[in-house]
Amino acid sequence: MSKAKWSSLGLSVVVVIVLAIWMATGDIKVAKTKAPAQQETGQQERTRVQVTTLNAQLYEPGLLLQGQLEPWNAVTVAARVAGTVETVHVDSGDTVEAGEALLTLSEDGRGAGVERWQARVKKLEADLSAARKLGSRDLASQSDILTVESELAAARAELKSARLAVAHLKPQAPFAGVINARHVDVGSLVQVGSPLYELVRIDRLKAKGQVPQQSVAQVAPGQKVRVRPLDGEALDGVVTFVASAANPETRSFAVEIAVENPGHKRIAGGSANLRVALGDVRAMFISPAYLSLGDGGRPGVKYVDEQNRVVFRTVTLLSVSTEGAWVTGLPDEIRLITRGAGFVSEGEHVEPVNVAQERG
């Protein structure tokens, strides 16, 4: 084969090789310009939130009121007869029993008055007996008998009055209590109505308060009350009275509470917080940090349901303190979102992580 033919053949082979390489290269470029097939992936990664399980408990809600404590009984013992104080039997701060003599006033002839009227009564009783005997024999008229009977009745009334005057020389305590004040000394001259002692009963107290008109339907006699004076030690009480008509100025209803004070604490006259117990309800105790406001401005909480979806539920606040809040309006058991609630919205699927699991 001639040299020219070999040259032509070699050139053809080179062209074929170059063409093959070009075609191969072009296919690769075309493949790269196409979008790669989308790789199948699992579910989109969910937001992790920290949850804790809470259960409803029986809770006794209460209506909080401001009240004033008063002695259960308080009276000023006054003189019922005039006289001079001869003896003082009790002093301020003393405890007395019902019927105990507090002091003694001068007699000033009252004993003699009793004796005089006793004698008068005896004489008239004898006169009446004699008149009736004579009347039975028609020796005395019925008018004479009636006259004696009238005089006897008047004499008996005077005798009773004289005896009362003597009894009033020793004023007595009308009930068991404590002498809160003494107004007289030995030698003091008193008139009818002059104050002698102030007597109070403090083993039981009376708390008075005002119930707002929107809450009065929840209060009735017999309900238990927790009374907390300023010293912080609580006492037990019971509602004894609820007014039937509101104060026209404050639109609130007066309420009275009997408060047991077995320790005779000196708290009468002071103020106190009153917590009227209402009916038991099922509620949850939640930290105020987990409360948020809904679209309507009402407080609520976010929790995770059985499908791991975020649920926002408004609640009713029964009581709120720095330690927490008792709320109603939730299921008996929830998985409360304690961390991450601000980054998820209602209805969103999340990955809940229990507090105990995360710590472990």
Fold adopted by 107-168 = Helix Hairpins (1.10.287)
What are 256's two structure tokens? 């009275």
Residue 255's Cβ-count burial label (10 Å; 0-12, 13-18, 19+) is: buried
Q: Write out the chain's pLDDT in tens, 360 residues.
A: 444 444 444 434 444 454 444 444 444 333 333 433 434 444 568 888 888 888 888 888 888 899 999 999 999 999 999 999 999 999 999 999 999 999 999 998 898 989 999 999 999 889 888 888 887 777 778 888 888 889 999 999 999 999 999 999 999 999 999 999 999 999 999 999 999 999 999 999 999 999 999 889 889 999 999 999 987 689 999 999 999 999 999 899 999 999 999 888 889 999 999 999 887 888 889 888 888 887 777 888 889 888 889 889 888 888 777 788 888 888 989 888 888 888 888 888 888 888 665 554
CA atoms within 13 A on the CB side of 141: 3
Residue 282 CB contacts under 8 Å (≥ 6 apart), including other chains = 56, 57, 58, 59, 328, 332
Residue 231 CB contacts under 8 Å (≥ 6 apart), including other chains = 265, 267
**Nearest-angstrom CA–CA distance, 50 and 337:** 6
Q: Which CATH superfamily is domain 63-70+202-277 in?
A: Efflux pump adaptor protein, beta barrel domain (2.40.30.170)
Residue 290's Cβ-count burial label (10 Å; 0-12, 13-18, 19+) is: buried
The predicted pLDDT at position 197 comes to 97
The predicted pLDDT at position 300 comes to 87
Give the start-to-end residue ranges of the domains of the chain. 49-58+281-359, 63-70+202-277, 107-168
pTM, whole model, 2 decimals?
0.63
Per-position DSSP letters for 154-180, written without gaps between them: HHHHHHHHHHHHHHTTS-B-SSSEEEE
The predicted pLDDT at position 360 comes to 46
The predicted pLDDT at position 36 comes to 36
Same fold, 49-58+281-359 and 63-70+202-277: no
**Nearest-angstrom CA–CA distance, 78 and 178:** 16
- Angle separating helix axes 110-136 and 142-167, nearest 10 degrees: 160
What are 120's two structure tokens? 């008068």
DSSP state, residue 307: T
What are 349's two structure tokens? 């699927």
The predicted pLDDT at position 93 comes to 93
CATH 2.40.40.20 applies to domain 49-58+281-359: no
Backbone Cα Rg of the chain: 49
**Residue 351: in which H helix or E strand, if any?**
strand 350-354
The predicted pLDDT at position 297 comes to 78
**Nearest-angstrom CA–CA distance, 277 and 269:** 23
The predicted pLDDT at position 176 comes to 95
The predicted pLDDT at position 226 comes to 92
The predicted pLDDT at position 18 comes to 40
**Distances from the Cα of 337 to the Cα of 173, 203, 285, 300, 359, angstroms:** 65, 50, 14, 12, 16
